């Protein structure tokens, strides 16, 4: 395999691995903050037990997130030295800010995890606030940098390709930031909410019908329900922005080959490049034009209208997009059903099919989020900096990328397996101690 493919494979694997821990690093501190705060208010020990259990699990999750995030910051240079030499001065600023946010999160997490017996209850609870805030800020800053790769701004290229009038603030506040940033932030809460709910739904299914499991489930589903609605709203505005700003990505995510007024939406199906159409999709006439521009007759530019080598792979992008939207709607419906039942019966639903659906929603939410990143990253191809720098021109020329990929792949497998094993053991031990 060539260096570009290997560099993309390594970066993609690292990002796909890290992001699971990163989103939990955003969402879990908020849940811990809420649970411990409820304990301080009500003196109900169940809330404290929840917070303490989450903090133990989070000790592992945060560390794995921190080291895999370190990998990414190294890999930016190791895999894409030309990209970084070109972009560093323009989009480095949010990374620097993220460095501080991560610093604050790590410091207060040290205080939080190891300070249960050293700090007063109120002081201990207060340490959770900077963790939750800086966790969210980290995500906001990092996604600003990614948004810049989609909507590069804040610089001019001279006649010889040299950078001129660099404005890193304008780069951070690029045109993609207002849609991409909120969408990623709320997605972090979507994943955390559903994953936590899934854990406690499984406990209820196994007959552990106690206050701890019911509250864990309700807290998780609260976060999930609020966040999935916001994810829908922000995702919708994100897609409409892409229609305006990145027409090739939009065409790929909808599998639109011909430029067309009154374009239909394709639900599912596989784009076939040689036939210039999506095979096996359900077509809803005019709906794509309507969703993109609130006008059933609006023109949607097709993949065929771009010169060769300027468009992303529509198969990956379209299937990822439909996975994100389809599964996202499904887990949203699970949350809706859950809350309808809670409001009607005034108690936590115990219907087994619903609980199983919540269990499935945990991994489904992770898949939804990963699919969203597939849409963003594959949809931007063949560019690493949209319209400015091609991915193929940015990769390293260093040797031995193949072994690097294999080693890191093996490390991620080992980290994932051990993390899962330890979390299960923690849960078992906590139950035994009860």
Least distance in angstroms from the C-beta of 149 to another protein: 14
Least distance in angstroms from the C-beta of 169 to another protein: 6
Nearer to another protein, 17 or 243 (CB): 17
From 66, 217, 252, 384, residue interacting with another protein (rule: CB under 8 A): 66
Stretch that binds another protein, among 95-103, 230-238, 278-286, 372-380 (CB under 8 A): 95-103
Least distance in angstroms from the C-beta of 407 to another protein: 6
How far is residue 91's CA from residue 299's CA, in Å, rounded to a whole number? 33
Least distance in angstroms from the C-beta of 104 to another protein: 6
Nearer to another protein, 142 or 212 (CB): 142
Q: Token digits for 163?
A: 């950078």
CB neighbours of residue 341 within 10 Å: 16
Contacts to another protein from residues 413-432, by CB under 8 A: 415, 418-419, 421-422, 425-426, 429
Nearer to another protein, 14 or 151 (CB): 14
Q: Token digits for 131?
A: 């963790």
Nearer to another protein, 172 or 348 (CB): 172
Assess contact for 391 and 4: CB atoms under 8 A. yes
Nearer to another protein, 137 or 368 (CB): 137
Contacts to another protein from residues 68-87, by CB under 8 A: 68-71, 73-74, 76-78, 81-82, 84-87
Stretch that binds another protein, among 240-248, 284-292, 310-318, 393-401 (CB under 8 A): 393-401
Nearer to another protein, 114 or 387 (CB): 114
Least distance in angstroms from the C-beta of 412 to another protein: 9
Least distance in angstroms from the C-beta of 167 to another protein: 6
Decide if residue 387 touches another protein (CB under 8 A).
no
Least distance in angstroms from the C-beta of 171 to another protein: 9
Contacts to another protein from residues 96-155, by CB under 8 A: 96-100, 102-104, 106-111, 113-115, 118-119, 130
Least distance in angstroms from the C-beta of 308 to another protein: 30
The 3-state secondary structure of the chain, one letter per residue: CCHHHHHHHHHHHHHHHHHHHHHHHHHHHHHHHHHHHHHHHHCCHHHHHHHHHHHHHHHHHHHHHHHHHHHHHHHHHHHCHHHHHHHHHHHHHHHHHHHHHHHHHHHHHHHHHHCCCCCCHHHHHHHHHHHHHHHHHHHHHHHHHHHHHHCCCCCEECCCCCEECCCHHHHHCCCCHHHHHHHHHHHHHHHHHHHHHHHHHHHHHCCCCCHHHHHHHHHHHHHHHHHHHHHHHHHHHHHHHHHHHCHHHHHHHHCCCCCEECCCEEECCEEEHHHCEEECCEEECCHHHHHHHCCCCCEECCHHHCCCCCCCCHHHHHHHHHHHHHHHHHHHHHHHHHHHHHHHHCCCCCCHHHHHHHHHHHHHHHHHHHHHHHHHHHHHCCEEECCCEEHHHHCCCCCCHHHHHHHHHHHHHHHHHHHHHHHHHHHHHHHHHC
| Residue bearing tokens 């997009």 | 321
Least distance in angstroms from the C-beta of 376 to another protein: 21
From 1, 2, 43, 67, residue interacting with another protein (rule: CB under 8 A): 67
Contacts to another protein from residues 212-271, by CB under 8 A: none
Nearer to another protein, 289 or 391 (CB): 391
Total of residues contacting another protein (CB under 8 A): 72
The values of phi and psi at residue 346, to 5°, are: 55, 25
Contacts to another protein from residues 44-63, by CB under 8 A: 56, 59-60, 62-63
Least distance in angstroms from the C-beta of 394 to another protein: 10
Nearer to another protein, 60 or 226 (CB): 60
Contacts to another protein from residues 144-203, by CB under 8 A: 163, 165-169
């Amino acid at each position: 395999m060539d260096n570009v493919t290997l560099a993309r494979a390594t970066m993609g694997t690292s990002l796909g691995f890290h992001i699971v821990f990163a989103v939990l690093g955003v969402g879990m501190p908020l849940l811990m903050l809420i649970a411990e705060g409820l304990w301080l208010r009500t003196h109900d020990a169940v809330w404290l037990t929840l917070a303490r259990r989450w903090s133990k699990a989070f000790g592992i999750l945060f560390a794995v997130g921190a080291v895999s995030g370190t990998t990414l910051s190294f890999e930016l240079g190791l895999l894409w030295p030309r990209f970084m030499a070109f972009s560093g001065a323009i989009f480095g600023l949010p990374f620097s800010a993220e460095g501080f946010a991560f610093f604050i999160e790590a410091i207060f997490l040290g205080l939080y995890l190891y300070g249960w017996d050293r700090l007063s209850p109120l002081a201990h609870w207060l340490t959770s606030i900077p963790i939750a805030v800086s966790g969210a800020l980290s995500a906001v800053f990092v996604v600003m940098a990614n948004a810049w790769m989609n909507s590069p701004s804040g610089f001019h290229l001279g006649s010889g390709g040299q950078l001129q009038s660099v404005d890193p603030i304008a780069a951070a506040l690029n045109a993609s930031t207002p849609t991409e940033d909120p969408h990623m932030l709320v997605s972090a809460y979507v994943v955390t909410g559903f994953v936590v709910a899934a854990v406690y739904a499984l406990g209820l299914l196994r007959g552990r019908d106690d206050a701890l499991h019911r509250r864990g489930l309700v807290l998780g589903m609260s976060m999930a329900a609020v966040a999935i609605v916001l994810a829908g709203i922000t995702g919708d505005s994100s897609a409409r922005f892409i229609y305006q700003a990145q027409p090739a990505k939009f065409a790929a995510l909808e599998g639109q080959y011909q430029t067309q007024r009154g374009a239909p939406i394709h639900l599912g199906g596989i784009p076939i490049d040689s036939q210039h159409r999506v095979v096996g999709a359900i077509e809803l006439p005019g709906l794509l034009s309507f969703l993109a521009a609130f006008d059933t007759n609006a023109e949607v530019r097709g993949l065929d209208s771009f010169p060769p080598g300027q468009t992303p792979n529509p198969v990956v992008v379209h299937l990822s997009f439909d996975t994100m939207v389809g599964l996202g709607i499904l887990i949203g419906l699970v949350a809706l059903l859950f809350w309808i039942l809670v409001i009607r019966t005034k108690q936590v639903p115990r219907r087994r099919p619903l609980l199983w659906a919540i269990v499935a929603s945990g991994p489904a939410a992770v898949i939804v989020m990963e699919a969203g990143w597939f849409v963003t990253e594959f949809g931007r191809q063949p560019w690493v900096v949209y319209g400015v720098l091609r991915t193929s021109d940015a990769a390293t020329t260093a040797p031995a990328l193949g072994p690097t990929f294999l080693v890191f792949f093996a490390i991620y497998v080992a980290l994932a397996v051990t993390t899962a094993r330890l979390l299960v053991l923690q849960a078992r031990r906590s139950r035994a101690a009860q």
